[in-house]
Structures are given as structure tokens and as C-alpha cells.
Amino acid sequence: MKFLTVRNLKKVFHKGSESQTNALDGIDLEINKEEFIVISGPSGSGKTTLLNIIGGLDSPSEGGVDLEGTLITELSENDLALFRRKNIGFVFQAYNLIPVLTAKENISYVMRLLGCPKSVYDARTLEVARELDIDRYLDKFPDHLSGGQQQRIAVARAVASKPKLILADEPTANLDSKNAEKLMELMRRLNEEEKVTIIFSSHDPLVIKQARRSIVLRDGKIIEDVVCP
């Protein structure tokens, strides 16, 4: 059984109106464990919508997403939240850290929701922070950190609870090339060392070339799906 299966996924926005848009138009996709995949394509091709539906943040108009035997498109809001908490880590383009929590609390947030003991989440937070070279910012609040630092904390938050899947929507979009390169290197390392399946979207060629599998979307359809050498 595949780790992640996407079947005939369709998403229509503003259905029935003049501005009706077929964001996803029958996507079929199978993903194995520990893959490192980039989804690329021009703006409006459906990259973000696909990631959102795979992550259970949005619901499809048609079709389904199966993650290790769980049809996540059928789950209730509450079950989806629990499912995301346990299985999926998110890295957003706009970092989306919780402003009232320190970097340390942001990183450990999901682990705390999962009920991990303090000693466990403290140790894991420190471990991940050291790995990402952000351990000296742990007591700072997000608004006292640079964009690059915030994004690394967002990555730390996504990986700290050891999810099965990390979804990153244009994680380098707000970073300069140096920080973008560092982040990709970091994600690749996490994929290799922590054995986490990572799917990210991007339209930056420098970022895309680091992936081991590249999926290209256009007008809501997959027009290319290749394994990189």
C-alpha cells in the first residue's frame, strides 16, 4: 500500500458563477514513504490547493486523499485536527508562528497538544533547535526575529513532533537566496536523517532542482511527474 494516494481530486471555486475556477481538475497521485517531492507550476496552477487538501486544511469538490489507510477527506473537523496534529507538519510561506508564544513554545506546541511530558518536549525542542541553529533564539517572541529565523522556527515546529508527512507551501518565497538555500539543505537533511516524507511547492528553479521527485501542475492538472536523478 502506498503512503499517500490522491484519487481523481477536483476542486472548483465559485461553482456555478461566472468566475468559476477549476483549481484542481482530476489529480491522481501516489507517493511513497520518505519521498522528497516538489510541486511546481505557474501561479494559479493549483499547487497550494493540492497541498491544502492533502493536509486536510481544505476539502475537495470531488475525489479523495488517503494517508496510510485513512481517508482524510472524509474526516470531521475535529478528527482532522487530531489527524493533522499526529501525522502532518506544516511550513507556511508566511511562517505563521503564534505571536503570543516564544520560539521555544512555538516549537513545542504540537508536542504539548499530543500530551508529551515536559522533559520529552523540552529535550526534543532543544535537539531540533540546535539542529536548525536557532537555539539562541528560543526565548524570543516571533516579532523579535528576522524572516529567516522565523522560517527556521516554523520548520522546527513542523518537524519537532516527528510527523509522518511535512507539507511546505513555498517555504522559501519570503527568504533571500542564501537563507532559501540553507532551508532547502535543512529540509533535505530532515528527509534523509529523520526519514520524514516531505512535499513542498515552489516555482524557484534553484529550489526545485534539490527535490528527488518533481511534479509540475498546470491549470489544475499534472503535466509532468519525474524522478530526478
Partner 1 sequence: MILLKMAFRELLIHKKRSVITVLLCAFSTALFIFVNALNDGSHKQLIRSSAETYPGYMQLTGRAFEDNPNYDNLIFDTPRIQNILKDQKWISAFSARFESYALYATDEQSIGGMFTAIEPESEAEVSRLKRSLVSGEYLSSKDTNALYLGVEFAKRLKVKVGDALSFISTGADYSFAADHLIVKGLFKTKLYEFDNSAAFVNKSYFDEVMHSTDSATHIIITPAEISQIDAVTQRLQKVVGGEIEVKNYKMILEDLVLAMKVDQIFSYITLAIFFVVIFFVVAIFAFLSVYARIRQIGVLRAIGTTPGQVMQLLLLEALILGIIGVGIGGAASAHATHYYEEHPISFGFWGDVEIEEYYKQYNMVAEVTIPTQYNPPKIAVEMLIMLMLNLASVLYPMIILRRFTPIEAMRHV
- Judged by the rule CB under 8 A, the positions of this chain that interact with partner 1 are 52, 55, 57-59, 77-78, 81-82, 84-86, 90, 92, 96, 98-101, 105, 109-110, 112-114, 157
The residue ranges of DSSP E strands in the chain, in sequence order, are 4-13, 21-31, 36-40, 62-67, 70-71, 88-91, 165-169, 197-201, 213-218, 221-227
Least Å distance, CB 128 to partner 1, is 15
Distance CA 41, CA 224 (A): 10
Beta carbon nearer to partner 1, 91 or 183: 91
Task: From 170, 173, 153, 190, select the one nearest 35 (Cα to Cα).
Answer: 190
Min dist. Cβ of residue 212 to partner 1 (A): 26
Return d(Cα 66, Cα 103) in angstroms, integer: 33
Taking the C-alpha atoms of residue 181 and residue 217, their distance in angstroms, rounded to an integer, is 23
Q: Which is nearer to partner 1, 89 or 148 (CB)?
A: 89
Q: How far is CA 110 from CA 28, 148, 198, 214, in A?
A: 30, 21, 18, 29
Given the complex with partner 1, which of 147 and 209 has the nearer CB atom? 147
Q: How far is the CB of 15 from partner 1 (least distance, A)?
A: 16
DSSP summary character for residue 202: -
Tell me whether residue 201 or residue 211 sits nearer to partner 1 (CB atom).
201
User: Which residues are within 8 A (CB) of 28 and not within 5 positions of it... i.e. 6 or more apart?
Assistant: 6, 7, 8, 9, 222
Q: How far is the CB of 163 from partner 1 (least distance, A)?
A: 9
Q: Minimal distance in Å, beta carbon 86 to partner 1?
A: 7
For residues 175 and 183, the answer to whether their CB atoms sit within 8 Å is yes
| CA dihedral sign of residues 125, 130, 136, 142 | negative
> Of 197 and 208, which has the nearer Cβ to partner 1?
197
The residue among 95 and 137 lying less far from partner 1, judged by its C-beta, is 95
CB of 78 to partner 1, least distance (A): 5
